[in-house]
Structure 1
């Protein structure tokens, strides 16, 4: 494995699991020693993490781990909803044949088998995260827009802004079934809108779908213990 990739993967994990705290200064000599890499690949990794939005330039040079306010996170979720709404409109107006929509139908059915279980354990939630991510990737592919793909990738680099960001915080939540059932029903309605070529309806459903993440963020902030289950939750700075 290239040293820059090793440094990138390790630093990203340390940031998301809280090993490196929000606001913590990233001293290159110390990190190079801990990672057992030279300074050049370490700098390459830090530049990439800055692009991803997980680190920021420090006042006297170098980098620090970035922290995020709840308001900022709500704005990123709203932006994701706007972009996914646009993707859904473009996908619907493209009037794709049924064969192109078939993977979305199958994913909705597979997710149904998960949310219909009597209990949702960690394995079931992990499976939901995988299938949900595939659904959103298929939807974006149907929009056939490189610009949208790049913009959504940038937003998705912030873990709490991704479509499945708060799913694992449901592990001990009595409302998990209700929330995930509603989310998958929105998936189903969205696929129906795509099949009918209803661009405006598809856009509105996709934007409403993203608002579930807004409510989940509010719930997680009201019960901070739930943030421990969210990748990057330690980066959220409470007011």
Structure 2
């Protein structure tokens, strides 16, 4: 996907997370593209992507509506992802990494190290980390040599925030985002160390915690009295 396309997806996802686009809000291509200052094509792609992620619902005629999502729904989908990715990590550790997978994982860790070395992070850095993070998880799933895991994850990705690609960040608080994503990167280091050393149980536990920690960066919907909805941050760090 093009960089502008990914930026539009991330921007709309964050607008939903923050409540700027509340549940029930109708969205259409032309006004959204005008508001974001982009063409209709990346907006159209973003709408379809967010529909697949369970954040938007396509209307019968035209446009989309922001879907109401509950805290339990998001928590459940992320926990399922953690179980599946934990299983993948354990099986990868037990089977052993190929030289190619080991080399690429180490390279991804070094790329992440370079991003966080300065002690600060930019929007561009986070976009780069999105790609690093996505590839990191893909390698571990592939290294498990278990097609059933990938198939199950594919089905789960249609639930809100279950997809590893469902990255959102607050560009107005990059110091906080630095702490979250740096924490996630340290978890990557721990997971790779466990897998390389054949420590299946440890690798599984780390990846399950890694997925559950998503609840700490994702601002998720929770029902309030009077049918009002606001975003809630749950306790820990990143994805």
Partners of 1:169 and 1:159 lie apart in 2 by 18
Give the conservation status (yes or no) of the 8 Å contact 1:89–1:198.
yes
How far has the Cα of 1:57 moved from its partner?
A: 10
Report what 1:70 is aligned to. Answer: 71
Give the conservation status (yes or no) of the 8 Å contact 2:170–2:177.
no
Give the conservation status (yes or no) of the 8 Å contact 1:89–1:202.
yes
Higher strand proportion (structure 1 or 2): 2
- State the Cα deviation string for residues 33-78 of structure 1 (Å, max 9, x = none): xxxxxxxxxxxxx9x99876456799xxxx9764211221111111
Report what 2:94 is aligned to. Answer: 93
Aligned pairs for 1:84-163 within 5 A: 84-158=85-159, 160-163=161-164
Aligned pairs for 1:1-239 within 5 A: 22-23=23-24, 53=54, 66-158=67-159, 160-163=161-164, 165-169=166-170, 172-217=173-218, 220-221=219-220, 238=230
TM-score for the superposition, normalised by structure 1: 0.65
Give the conservation status (yes or no) of the 8 Å contact 2:53–2:161.
no
How far has the Cα of 1:176 moved from its partner?
A: 2.3
**Alignment length, in residue pairs?**
195
User: Larger deviation: 143-152 or 165-174?
Assistant: 165-174
- State the Cα deviation string for residues 117-174 of structure 1 (Å, max 9, x = none): 3431111110011111110111111012221111112223345223353542365242
Higher helix proportion (structure 1 or 2): 1
Larger radius of gyration: 1
Partners of 1:113 and 1:104 lie apart in 2 by 14
Q: RMSD in angstroms over aligned alpha carbons?
A: 3.9
How far has the Cα of 1:209 moved from its partner?
A: 0.8
C-alpha distance 238-154 of structure 1, shift in aligned 2 (>3 A): farther
Give the conservation status (yes or no) of the 8 Å contact 1:121–1:171.
no
Partners of 2:164 and 2:50 lie apart in 1 by 20
Give the conservation status (yes or no) of the 8 Å contact 2:53–2:160.
no
How far has the Cα of 1:179 moved from its partner?
A: 1.9
Partners of 2:179 and 2:66 lie apart in 1 by 35
